[in-house]
Every structure is written in structure tokens, then in C-alpha cells.
Amino acid sequence: MTNQPDGKAFSHVQEWVFDLDNTLYPHHSNLFAQVDVRITAFVSELLSLPRDEARALQKRLYKEYGTTMNGLMALHGIDPDDFLEKVHDIDYSGLTPDPALGDAIRALPGRKFIFTNGDRRHAERTARQLGILDHFDEIFDIIAAELEPKPAAATYGRFLKRHGVEPAQAAMFEDLGRNLEVPKSLGMRTVLIVPRNFEPTFSEIWERDAAYDDAVDFVTDDLSAFLTSISPALPR
């Protein structure tokens, strides 16, 4: 793992795969914090629990099932469409457009993907607000993943098969180390996105995942600057 960008390490990459939340926008924007609050509210209303108990259950389900939604589906048979609609009913206007990131993504050779445990509508709204939506070839969301979230190996397999992605020519950008373990094992170049100045802004959302350090090739707290720095070494 290194914090120093190395364009030569990406010279073979033709498939660029980006997580969405806390990856394509900075952690300090707190956009996902809105989703997190709405998930707590959903659990509280569904099970008639006080907020603190609902939040504790939410986090336990996340750890045990990969997403809170998966846990609620398994234990309480919720409608995933209803869940996704309610928890992504948030205000995107506070997300600052990022033309520098757009330019950096557009300059990358080959195809670009958003690969998210959220749904397509949330991904489209987020990327559109950032001004980067048009730079992506496709979005692979939790519905395309058949409701099985990262880091499940089968979900990466579905992504690769659907889009004909060759792992040996791919790079994956994520804010959770656990979600890079499978990509690394498949031969992808991996980059972990961490909070600005490498310090978490809201510790409950961001997780260091130190146990997965071996799955991480590079670390950055500025995705735009990282992509810009490796760009000169990439083939055109």
C-alpha cells in the first residue's frame, strides 16, 4: 500500500470502476449521512423502536448482512424498492459540482463504471449533481447485483459478466477496504479513498478496515488529484 500515485501502475488499465458514496464525492460533504439517518428512521418506524435502539440494530444488520436492507429483507421481509425509495429521499443540492473530477474521469482511457450498493436513481442523482454523470458508460447497482451487496464475490462476478470487464485490465476505487479484497484477488488495481487529511469526519460511517490493508494498492484522500496525477502516464 502506498500514498504516492504511480501512473505506470495504471498504464494497463482500460476499465475504471468507482464506488459511489464517499468515493465520487468527499466524505466531508456528509451526503451519505442523510441516507444513514433515513435508514435509522426506516428501522425505527418498521419495528416501533426508539431511535437509539433502531440505530444499534441498523449497524448490527449492516455488519452481519452486508447492508441493513439485506438484514431487514431476511428477517422482516421488507420490500427493497420501498426501502431504497425512502432512504434515498434526500437533498442533493448541498453536493458541490466537481468539474475537476469530471475532467479527470473524462481523460481516463477506456470505459468507466459506477458500481454501488445503492440504487441507480441515487447514483444518477448524485453523479448528475456532481456534474460527472455523462462521463460514465454504465451504472451497476444493487438491483443489477440481484440485491446481494459488495463485498460478496458473486456480485463482482455479476458485474464482470454483465459488462465484459477483464479484471487484469481494471482498477477499482472504494472507500471500504473490505470491498477491495475480491477485486484485488481477481487481479484489479485497487485504490482506497479515505477522508480528507486521512481523518474520519464521522467515524460511524467511515471504517478504516485495517484488516484489509493487503487488498489496497494505493490510498488517497483526493480522488480528483489522484486521477490527474496518474493521467500523464496513461496511454491515449
- CATH assignment of the domain containing 76: 1.10.150.450
Closest of 110, 93, 59 to residue 235, by C-alpha:
110
pLDDT for res 5:
80
Residues 157 and 49 in one domain: no
Beta bridge partners of 113: 17, 138
pLDDT for res 202:
40
Residues 38 and 19 in one domain: no
pLDDT for res 187:
97
pLDDT for res 55:
95
Domain annotation covers residue 92: no
Residues 37 and 134 in one domain: no
Instruction: Quote the cell numbers at residue 198.
Output: 486521512
Residues 180 and 133 in one domain: yes
pLDDT for res 96:
92
Task: Provide the domain limits for residue 74.
Answer: 32-87
Domain annotation covers residue 187: yes
Residues 70 and 150 in one domain: no
Residues 66 and 135 in one domain: no
pLDDT for res 196:
75
What residues of the chain score a pLDDT lower than 50? 200-206
pLDDT digits over 187-227, tens only?
Answer: 999 999 988 765 544 444 445 566 677 899 999 999 999 99
Query: Taking CA 108 as the corner, what is the angle to CA 195 and CA 163, rounded to the nearest 5 degrees?
Result: 95
pLDDT for res 100:
96
Residues 82 and 104 in one domain: no
CA 73/CA 206 separation, integer angstroms: 24
Residues 228 and 124 in one domain: yes
Residues 131 and 217 in one domain: yes
Domain count, the chain: 2
Residues 73 and 190 in one domain: no
Domain annotation covers residue 194: yes
Residues 179 and 227 in one domain: yes
Look up the CATH number of the domain holding residue 131. Answer: 3.40.50.1000
